[in-house]
Structure 1
Amino acid sequence: MQNIVERLLNGDRRALARMVTLIESEAPVATRYLAQLHQHAGKAHIIGITGSPGAGKSTLVSRLVRELRKREKKVAVVAVDPTSPFSGGAILGDRIRMLELSGDPNVFIRSMASRGSLGGLSASTRDVVRAMDAAGYDPIIIETVGTGQAEVEVMRTAQSVVVVVAPGMGDDIQAIKAGILEIADIFAVSKMDKPGAQQTVAELAMLLSLDPNRKKSSWRIPIVKTSALKESGLDELADRLQEHRTFLHESGMMETREQRQVQSELRALILQAVSHALTEAVSEDEWSSLIDKIIRRERDPYSVARELEARIGLQQS
């Protein structure tokens, strides 16, 4: 553990890997290290890749990383995998799918379990991104779980959001209608070699043309046609991402997004502290007893909540 922060800032991959492990395990020392790293972060372009399961996000990310490496970029990837609601385990398959990239010293890939976090992101994703940023990786790609509309959480971490849509997946278009349209900075239609791809492009173009909010925006959302099989469209996707980064800086929207993200992070940290305080104050046996009493209508949830708030100092009893 000798000066892990200094080693990480000097680009030591083992120090970064150790830091990510400390963050994931919620080691108390991780917060202190992250506080030191904060002033060295804020330089990287954070890219969110989201979309429904089966849309081809992982393959797209692998190909995009290869394209960015051609451009001499030092790339990090956080691949957030779903956690089983039954066993708590996650299939960390993205590291296997991206094995071809693992030998590159300028590519750092880490898979993380979402651990039931809403919105497709692990609770510690922001911290891992901050460590990667401080270590000099730019851009940093976050590939989310892919659960549909709840993916809007990625907006609170990423600066540029790519929504991946595959042809023949009607549910994707429905999800976009339901609200995921609001988070997209770029649409990437994957599997353009498959039947129905052009129809999917046309449907997206129609949705964008009908969206009144987008008509007011100075950023026109591009629809990028990609094919991993034919390895096409990845150069255009990389170009559009760079254009969006430039647009954010020149328009002043980067500062607006950062303000929103910092506010979200502070709220999350405070809620986490409250949750920990509650865990410390109430034993498992007491939880079970309170729940049983509420179920039997001997107590009500409102008065119990007020009592617990008072116990952890959130209000006067």
Structure 2
Amino acid sequence: MIDDLIERMLRGDKRAAARLITLVENDEEKAREIISKVYPHTGNAYIVGITGPPGAGKSTLLDKLIKVVREEGKVVGVIAIDPTSPFTGGALLGDRIRMQRHSTDPGVFIRSMATRGSLGGLAKATNDAIKVLDAYGCDVIFVETVGVGQIEIDIVKTADTVVLVTVPGLGDDIQAIKAGLMEIADVFVINKADKEGADATYFELNLMLDLEKERWEKRGWRPPIIETVATTMRGIRDLWKAINDHRKSLEESGRLAEKRKFRAEEEVKTIVSGRIARAVEERLDDEEVSSLIERVVKREIDPYSAADTVLEKALGVKI
């Protein structure tokens, strides 16, 4: 079945691609088989992360951005990370509603994925879904995070270009950027720039960039600040140009290859960590772990020593 789905997907069958993404999202063993077979067909898509706080208008912005990219004839993939439904465990599909006008376009593939408790604003299966869309033939893949604030920094492990969307009037917005988001943004967007306070937000961002001059000079790229009003298309083409300019900068400096190597390393580490955790869960019975925990509580053994014992018993090697 998997071989047939992959063959159909490589021929441009959107339903087959959707089915493969469902499999990599829900079945780890099938995900491993699928990725091993589609991996030789990947490496062509450019990955753009869209992140920022809730209410910044990320989905509306992305809806208009898709329109601009499609005008160039490029095939677009979208992975919209939605909060998990507490009842079904699935995505709430809010982003798909805002982008539904693209659903009949054969050159656009939109998929909502549930976070399922994953931190960092990204679903655990995001990287595998990206690979499927890459092999499917997408030229550009947008990954929109759930919008949970400061923990959105995981997007840097996934995207080639990270776009941080903010809006005027959010009192803690700039503070959230200071807390880490600013370090990973390649392009800043002030959406809803027709609202009061847009000039002040621009000033603050520009000032913060000035204070980090040494960092941007070392990277060879100072993130531009693009003002947009997504509902009217204002600034959307400027945003797409900024994304392309950043891509050109990465390619010419060799940093794109460096970023992708970093991503590969992080992905391998994540897979290894996950497998070690499962090995521990599968090979140790609850009584044995409970006994160790009791000893920690009684101060008979410290937490690090307990962890060493668990790993040694589970993996069969001394840590």
TM-score bracket for this pair, using the shorter chain length: over 0.9
Q: Which residue of 2 aligns with 1:186?
A: 187
For residues 98 and 200 of structure 1, the distance between their equivalents in structure 2, rounded to whole angstroms, comes to: 27
For residues 11 and 127 of structure 1, the distance between their equivalents in structure 2, rounded to whole angstroms, comes to: 18
193, 212, 216: which one aligns with 1:214? 216
Residue 174 (1) aligns with residue 175 (2): yes
User: What CA deviation, in whole Å up to 9, does each residue of 1:79-112 have, x standing for no partner?
Assistant: 1123368985642311222212111111111111
* CA positional deviation for 1:21: 0.4
Aligned CA-pair RMSD: 2.2
Q: How does 1:33-112 map to 2 (within 5 A)?
A: 33-83=34-84, 90-112=91-113
Mapped contact 2:168–2:195 kept (Cα < 8 A) = yes
Q: Which residue of 2 aligns with 1:313?
A: 315
Name the aligned partner's letter for residue 104 of structure 1: D
For residues 311 and 305 of structure 2, the distance between their equivalents in structure 1, rounded to whole angstroms, comes to: 10
Q: Which residue of 2 aligns with 1:8?
A: 9
Q: Which moved more, 1:1-10 or 1:186-195?
A: 1-10
For residues 282 and 86 of structure 1, the distance between their equivalents in structure 2, rounded to whole angstroms, comes to: 31
Q: Which moved more, 1:113-122 or 1:283-292?
A: 283-292
Q: Which residue of 2 aligns with 1:268?
A: 270
For residues 285 and 195 of structure 1, the distance between their equivalents in structure 2, rounded to whole angstroms, comes to: 61
User: What CA deviation, in whole Å up to 9, does each residue of 1:207-265 have, x standing for no partner?
Assistant: 11111312443212111111022221111111111111111111100111011111101
SS in 2 for 1:312: helix
SS in 1 for 2:230: coil
228, 245, 248: which one aligns with 1:246? 248
Residue 277 (1) aligns with residue 279 (2): yes
Q: Which residue of 2 aligns with 1:196?
A: 197
Mapped contact 1:85–1:116 kept (Cα < 8 A) = no
* CA positional deviation for 1:170: 2.4
Q: Any unmatched runs of 5+ in structure 2?
A: none
Give % identity.
46
Change (3 A) 1:199 1:135: same
Name the aligned partner's letter for residue 231 of structure 2: L
Mapped contact 1:277–1:312 kept (Cα < 8 A) = yes
* CA positional deviation for 1:288: 5.7
For residues 18 and 294 of structure 2, the distance between their equivalents in structure 1, rounded to whole angstroms, comes to: 44
Q: Give the TM-score normalised by structure 2.
A: 0.92
* CA positional deviation for 1:283: 4.5
Q: Which moved more, 1:75-84 or 1:242-251?
A: 75-84
For residues 201 and 266 of structure 2, the distance between their equivalents in structure 1, rounded to whole angstroms, comes to: 34
SS in 1 for 2:175: helix
User: What CA deviation, in whole Å up to 9, does each residue of 1:51-88 have, x standing for no partner?
Assistant: 11111111111111111112211101011123368985
Q: How does 1:229-240 map to 2 (within 5 A)?
A: 229-240=231-242
User: What CA deviation, in whole Å up to 9, does each residue of 1:259-312 have, x standing for no partner?
Assistant: 111110110110111122122123456656655664465765334322221122
For residues 304 and 234 of structure 2, the distance between their equivalents in structure 1, rounded to whole angstroms, comes to: 57
Name the aligned partner's letter for residue 255 of structure 1: A
Mapped contact 1:49–1:141 kept (Cα < 8 A) = yes
SS in 2 for 1:194: coil
Mapped contact 2:48–2:140 kept (Cα < 8 A) = yes
For residues 269 and 180 of structure 2, the distance between their equivalents in structure 1, rounded to whole angstroms, comes to: 23
Count residues with an aligned counterpart. 317
Name the aligned partner's letter for residue 15 of structure 1: A
Mapped contact 2:60–2:231 kept (Cα < 8 A) = no
User: What CA deviation, in whole Å up to 9, does each residue of 1:13-66 have, x standing for no partner?
Assistant: 111101100111024122112111111101111000001111111111111111
SS in 2 for 1:119: coil
Mapped contact 1:83–1:89 kept (Cα < 8 A) = yes
Q: Which moved more, 1:127-136 or 1:2-11?
A: 2-11
SS in 2 for 1:47: strand
Mapped contact 1:166–1:190 kept (Cα < 8 A) = yes
Name the aligned partner's letter for residue 203 of structure 2: A
SS in 2 for 1:213: helix
Name the aligned partner's letter for residue 191 of structure 1: K
